Amino acid sequence: MTRQTYFAELTGENTDVQVLKRALKLVSVFFMLMFSIAFPAWAQVTTAGEARTTAQDVPSAGHQVIILLDTNPHQKKVLPVELALAEGIIQKLSQPGNSFSVITFGSSPPSLLKSGVASDDAIAAIRGVTLQTREKYFSVHFYDALTLGLGEFAGDARPKSLLVISEGNDYFPRKTFKETVAKMEQQQIACDAAMVASHSFYGTKGIQMYGFDLRRFVGKTHGQYVEVGGNQKKVPRSAEQLSEGILSRGMNAGK
């Protein structure tokens, strides 16, 4: 082999290596270009999907809670139980974004004590509640209080709960039961009821005499019904049960 042939073959070999290197560079540039185009679009879709998932998992911020307190003269012995229960529930619901309205009712027209306030103001109002003056003949203005309470709900997306703490005098005017249930279903308002009284809620043969319609009302609006009676010892457990149920509506609303 001559020196010229040797250098020719050597040159040819180097040329092949250079061609191969150039081809590899072109391939790598191609893949880098495709990656730079595809990655932003993929990242955008992934981020949007994560954002939707996060938004679905996070419950609605805050709750609207309207509390109706029965202060009719019959509640003289158990009014402290009512007030302790109301305060216990508010304390457990004392979170940012939660608002409370407090309404009393009984033998006199209902009274709006606080409207859309924070827990501290609501508790202060509860502690100032007194029994209504006893009258020889009286009727309990439950339905009027219910109507007043429904008007307190703001038109936002927060979960809405109406809590009735009552002896169970729950008279509904004719044809208003279905209409009120339909209104609450439309606004997604749940009614909870805590029965507090110094007497039994049942008559002979176990027939419910107090809170019969209210119990049906609670069931129709997917709320909670508890019987506390006049037992102060039942207050902590009842407050926990009712507050947990109210908070769970926020979690369910986020799903």
Measured between alpha carbons, how far is 156 from 118 in angstroms, rounded to an integer? 17
Of the pLDDT bands very low, low, confident and very high (cuts 50, 70, 90), residue 21 is low
Query: What φ, ψ does residue 124 adopt, rounded to 5°?
Result: -60, -40
Structural domain containing residue 21: 1-57
Lowest mean pLDDT among 38-47, 100-109, 111-120: 38-47
**Between 118 and 52, the higher pLDDT residue:** 118
CATH number of the CATH domain containing 241? 3.40.50.410
Measured between alpha carbons, how far is 160 from 156 in angstroms, rounded to an integer? 9
Measured between alpha carbons, how far is 163 from 126 in angstroms, rounded to an integer? 14
Which residue is associated with the tokens 């954002």? 51
Number of domains observed in the structure of the chain: 2
pLDDT in tens, 197-227: 999 999 988 999 999 999 999 999 999 999 9
Q: What is this structure's pTM? A: 0.74
Whether residues 129 and 232 share a domain: the answer is: yes
CA nearest 66: which of 135, 14, 27, 112? 112
Whether residues 181 and 136 share a domain: the answer is: yes
Whether residues 119 and 204 share a domain: the answer is: yes
Whether residues 8 and 122 share a domain: the answer is: no
Mean pLDDT, rounded, of the chain: 82
**Whether 68 contacts 145, CB under 8 Å:** yes
Whether residues 80 and 106 share a domain: the answer is: yes
Domain end (from 33, 57, 81) = 57
CA nearest 71: which of 6, 133, 28? 133
**Whether 34 contacts 28, CB under 8 Å:** no
Q: Give the pLDDT confidence score for residue 58 in this predicted structure.
A: 38
Measured between alpha carbons, how far is 164 from 200 in angstroms, rounded to an integer? 18
pLDDT in tens, 46-85: 444 443 333 333 344 789 999 999 999 999 999 999 999 9
Measured between alpha carbons, how far is 56 from 32 in angstroms, rounded to an integer? 36
Whether residues 34 and 98 share a domain: the answer is: no
Whether residues 35 and 69 share a domain: the answer is: no
Residue 3, classified by CB atoms within 10 Å of its CB into exposed (0-12), middle (13-18) or buried (19+), is exposed
- Calculate mean pLDDT across residues 99-106: 96
Q: Give the pLDDT confidence score for residue 154 in this predicted structure.
A: 77
- Calculate mean pLDDT across residues 2-11: 46
Whether residues 43 and 150 share a domain: the answer is: no
Whether residues 126 and 36 share a domain: the answer is: no
pLDDT in tens, 147-195: 999 999 978 789 999 999 999 988 888 788 999 999 999 999 999 999 9
Lowest mean pLDDT among 35-44, 88-97, 98-107, 126-135: 35-44
Q: Tokens at residue 36, please?
A: 């730079």
Of the pLDDT bands very low, low, confident and very high (cuts 50, 70, 90), residue 139 is confident
Q: Give the pLDDT confidence score for residue 7 in this predicted structure.
A: 40
pLDDT in tens, 24-52: 566 565 556 555 555 444 344 344 444 33
